[in-house]
Structure 1
Amino acid sequence: MEEREMHRKVTRIGNNLGVSMTEALKSIGANAGDHLIVKVINNEIRIQKKKQMDVPDGIDSEFFEILQEGMEEYHNTLKGLRNR
């Protein structure tokens, strides 16, 4: 795992706080419009690009996003059912 340290200043964007992370996002292959997974673990923020699934013709991609979120949320339950 490659580790890179970058120093950034938190800025106000309207009523929100933000940080410019163009270099870091490019390093994980993120582009405008991509979905990211952001986790806060012991005062560390981890960001990863969400994998996009190929959507069959005629099926709404939002359906697959909801399905994937449910599968991630109930991963351990589904794993337990598989092992029965």
Structure 2
Amino acid sequence: MSVVMNGMERKVTKIGNSLGVTMTDALKQLGINNGDTVKVDVRGDEIVIKKSQYVTLPKGISLDFLDTLHDVMNEYDETLKGLKDR
């Protein structure tokens, strides 16, 4: 069950050479933790923060490999689905 948090007021503070706003509870509600990458969009007079879907590839795995894997999985989709029930 998620808790909706509306109307949170926070003070803008100086963090190093930047300005920041603390909002730990709101970030936790979105599943955002320390070290995560987020996407920040400015829409009119609003700031929208979303957890980034960017995935880093393990060492030795190239984008070409992932493209090939995607193609093979699409080509053999029904066969692979049949294997899961064996």
The TM-score bracket by the shorter chain reads 0.5 to 0.7
Question: What secondary structure, in the 3-state scheme, does the structure 1 residue paired with 2:39 have?
Answer: strand
Aligned pairs (5 A) from 1:2-81: 4-53=6-55, 55=57, 58-59=60-61
Deviation sequence 1:40-70 (CA, Å, 0-9, x none)? 010100000012447356227xx7xxxxxxx
1:23/1:45 Cα in 2 relative to 1: closer, same or farther (>3 Å)? same
Structure possessing the higher radius of gyration over alpha carbons: 2
Unaligned 5+ segments in structure 1 are 64-84
- 1:2-58, Cα deviation, whole Å (9 max, x unpaired): 562211000112221111010111010001111100000101000000124473562
How many pairs are equivalent?
Answer: 60
CA distance in 2, matches of 1:46, 1:37: 8
Distance in 1 separating the partners of 2:13 and 2:59? 42
Percent identical among aligned pairs is: 48
Q: After the TM superposition, which segments of 4 or more aligned residues of structure 1 sit over 4 Å from their partners?
A: none
Structure 2: 5+ residue runs without aligned partners?
64-86
